[in-house]
């Protein structure tokens, strides 16, 4: 039986979260969550608790767009295709 890789499938994967803090433009601390497998993903919030509570909302939107566009979604435990032909991407 084939696994259906829909939005629910991807939302329930064990993503590798990268968490940290930084300062905004006025020197206030904010908390962020990045996902190792999805380098363009970053969610920021005023507290770590809010970041954990809400990052999946943004992740869901990003995954929906990626699925609609037919983009490759690198799953946890899988390596991305690092053999990118940059000359064809950046003329």
For the chain, what are the domain ranges?
7-89
Mean pLDDT of 18-22: 96
Mean pLDDT of 35-52: 95
pLDDT at 81: 57
Whether the model pTM is above 0.75: yes
pLDDT at 78: 82
Q: What is the pLDDT of residues 66-87, one digit of tens each?
A: 999 999 999 998 866 555 565 6
Q: For 7-89, CATH number? A: 3.30.160
CA distance 44 to 8: 23
Cα radius of gyration (the chain): 16
């Amino acid at each position: 039986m084939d696994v259906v890789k829909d939005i629910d499938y991807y939302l329930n994967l064990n993503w590798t979260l990268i968490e940290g803090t930084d300062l905004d433009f006025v020197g206030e601390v904010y908390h962020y969550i990045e996902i190792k497998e999805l380098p363009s993903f970053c969610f920021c919030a005023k507290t770590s608790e809010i970041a954990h509570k809400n990052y999946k909302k943004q992740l869901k939107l990003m995954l929906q767009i990626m699925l609609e566009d037919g983009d490759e979604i690198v799953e946890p435990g899988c390596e991305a295709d690092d053999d990118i032909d940059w000359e064809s991407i950046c003329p």
